[in-house]
Structure 1
Amino acid sequence: MQDVPRALGLDFGTTNSVVAIATGQQSDLVEFAGSQATGAVFRSALCFWHEEGVKGGLAHEAGPWAIAEYMEYPEDSRFLQSFKSVAASPIFESANVFEKRYRFEELGAMFLNRMVGHAGGALDQRPERIIVGRPVTYAGSRPDEALARKRYDAMFAGFGTDIHYVYEPLGAAFSYASRLTQAATILVADFGGGTSDFSIVRVEAPGAARRATPLGSAGIGIAGDRFDYRIMDHLVLPMLGKGGSYQSFGKTLEIPRSYFADFADWSRLALMRNRRTMDELARLQKSADEPAAIGRMMTVIEKELGYPLYDAVGSLKRALSADESAAFRFAGGELEIETQVSRADFERWIAPDIARIEATVDKALATAGVTPDAIDRVFLTGGSSLIPAIRGIFDARFGADRIATGGELTSIAHGLALIGQEANLAEWAA
């Protein structure tokens, strides 16, 4: 009889989710199976569509299978991504999907169910002890941590019987600590889609009775999604009417900025595709000084162009991590954009965000009671850690020789599973 895995680590991310299972001192990633599978990385996305014979009349998919379904039938489906970002929002009550409303925990449970279904049987028999990553600070302007915990508990109620939550950067720290051969104080910086989180951990030499001790953490709700929106705000939204004006009772007024706020998260565009919003935009178009711009915005919403639009934004962001200049190209509906963007422009757009992230690093050091000189190693993880302006924060503060990278998308899940086997688990739990 095979040994039953002792712990499962789940990095439920804003953009991607990853699962690892630890047995003994080894933590192995779960690979997903099927034609749309992308290895161990499972996109944190859901797609809904009408289907006869399905209970409730709505079928759904998750992960890369959700993307494939949406791309084939964009106008007949509803696509949701980054729903983790509303976990702590007291404003969010439910998402309108066609004629149904879904609470956060319902979306989460459906997502987990389909993730298990695509794991090729690897998640059918899960260990009792499950370690779920959570951000140090949740996304949103006024996040309610107690509300997020309540929603997470409901989401994972059917996933396991012994659920524990651990700060995501602590998972990455434990993963990195497993590689070290000598004692060190490490700072882990985890840059996800919705949050940037930092944890400081003291690691003892291999063989020590207690290998690692968490010292302090800090986080901020600024990360990859915010950087995407900066590109959107400067390159795309002016073509959709932002900054423009309309006429009302003899007065010239600015186009309401509330319409463009939903473009901060492209998955929210699907929720704008409702009769009330589209009727409002149709009336606005008639009185706008540039009606064609409002028409382009309506096309983006009606034709479900949010995904390809933000896909183009993401491609530009990644290209600028490697090159000093890159082309932004998008064509869809009545909107066509092709322009060259410099890394200097992008860094200027995100400069306020970089400053706030740097201040959060200072907060993490203060919480742990250490100075920059006391940090022996810095481990950068998460997709946005590849952005040169992000890397520059740590090069300037700690020196390039102390910085390590790797496992940008998988290190958190790997470490969470290993933490699940710790005797002092309560000290790691958030």
Structure 2
Amino acid sequence: MTKISCGIDFGTSNSSVAIDKNGHISLVPVEQSHVTIPSAIFFRPVDNKAFFGRTAIDLFFDRQEGRFMRSLKRVLGTSLMKHGTVVNGATMNFASIITSFLRHIKEKADAVAGQEIDSVVMGRPVHFVDNDPDADARAQAELTSIAQRIGFKHIDFQFEPIAAAFAHEVHIQGEKLAIVVDLGGGTSDFTVIKLSNQYLNKADRTSDILANTGVRIGGNDFDKQLSLSAIMPELGYRSTYGAKHLEVPLKPFHDLAEWSKVNFLYTPKLIMQTRQLLHESHDKKRYNRLLQVLVHETGHTLLAAAEKAKIALSAQEKHQALFDFIEDGFSITIGRERFEEAIQDDVEKIAASAKECLQQAGVTNEAIDLVILTGGSTEVHSVQVEFKRLFPNAAIADENKLSSVGLGLAYDSQHKFGSPAITGVAR
């Protein structure tokens, strides 16, 4: 039997898998011809059959009945893993939910390989949970257990930015000092590493990896800040009610701005509370929009509109976001400047983590030859401006933004599980 291993990039927003077959690495089509799949699940009622990726998103936005979930990776290591959630009236734990998604990806890889793959390198952020080593270790243990449940016998992990570096290395002549900037949906991770195509078959890369850092800020946080700044005020965020002009509760708005928390909002208690406050609201028109979102359970549609605005504002100066699912003719025009102001603190924290990585590596900004950008959030205009400012002398590599981690993890699996020396990379 052919020795085949794989690398799985389970991302907050998108996921991918690549296989190493006789030293040849290739990405696996995981949804029709696509080599990436949105990390999304839709459970239909009655039998709780699961649908994944773009199919799940389409079912949800076609207003089919069922339970939709995204950003499941952010649950790893948190208390939510123990508590679980209600799916179409039945309690389901998050380990089972994540297992179903990753099993779907493994089955795609097994089909392409023509056999069951038992060896995997799983990607992981530098920190699943910031400043909490116990939660971080718990998250990796949970992911290990899930990998075992879907049939893997040999499991290892690699930091996602290091995997992204491996994916680019095959094209690098001579030695270059690189920093990998990996901005995903849930985390931003950095690695300073020495790269060369002469190092492709080095078994031990410890001496080449100079430092890695990370912070739990990513594209989902950009969505949240944009939503709170430009969208939620039009739903009554920070408005007041009653004779004492008290501020309305802010938690529902914050939860509506996070993919992993939206589903917990549609409770009779919160809807009743919102109705009661609406009677005393000083801005009934806007606050009623919040009630409509809760009653009709359109929080994910609201978040999708924020995400769409973020993507649009990465390429253009203004975007008109439509919210006619809340109210006929309701739209908000958002300028890039407002978006960039909303995420300024997050971008500064991301840049600070990159600078910390340089300090730990003992190198200067000017010493970096190559900046490898991976992850969809590197498309954001202010992020690009910041990293070009930080590394004015470096070349920028940004191909395969959404799939380079999966490729690199498969490359790493080749070393860790002993298949023949690498012969090429299918991109």
TM-score by length of 2: 0.89
Structure 2 residue 187 is matched with structure 1 residue 189:
no
- The match for 2:6 is 8
- The match for 1:201 is 193
Q: How does 1:6-405 map to 2 (within 5 A)?
A: 7-33=5-31, 37=32, 39-51=34-46, 54=47, 58-74=48-64, 76-90=65-79, 93-116=83-106, 121-122=111-112, 125-139=115-129, 144-159=135-150, 160-206=152-198, 210=202, 212=205, 213-247=208-242, 251-334=244-327, 336-399=329-392, 401-405=394-398
Give yes or no for contact 2:160–2:182 (8 Å, CA) kept in 1.
yes
- The match for 2:423 is none
* 1:325-382: CA deviation from partner (whole Å, max 9, x where unpaired): 3333332132654343322222111111111111100111122222223222111111
CA distance in 1, matches of 2:416, 2:111: 29
CA distance in 1, matches of 2:199, 2:193: 17
* 1:111-134: CA deviation from partner (whole Å, max 9, x where unpaired): 123334566923773432201111
RMSD of aligned alpha carbons: 2.5
* 1:125-152: CA deviation from partner (whole Å, max 9, x where unpaired): 3432201111112256867212212321
Give yes or no for contact 1:246–1:288 (8 Å, CA) kept in 2.
yes
Unaligned runs of 5+ in 2: 419-427
- 1:32 to 1:150, Cα distance in 2 relative to 1, 3 A: closer
The secondary structure found in structure 2 opposite 1:332 is: coil
CA distance in 2, matches of 1:397, 1:416: 28
- 1:118 to 1:173, Cα distance in 2 relative to 1, 3 A: closer
| Percent of matched pairs sharing the same residue | 28
- 1:416 to 1:117, Cα distance in 2 relative to 1, 3 A: closer
Give yes or no for contact 1:62–1:115 (8 Å, CA) kept in 2.
no
CA distance in 2, matches of 1:27, 1:263: 40
- 1:309 to 1:395, Cα distance in 2 relative to 1, 3 A: same
Runs of 4+ in structure 1 off by over 6 angstroms are none
Give yes or no for contact 2:18–2:109 (8 Å, CA) kept in 1.
no
The secondary structure found in structure 1 opposite 2:397 is: strand
The secondary structure found in structure 2 opposite 1:322 is: coil
- The match for 1:428 is none
How many residues align structurally? 412
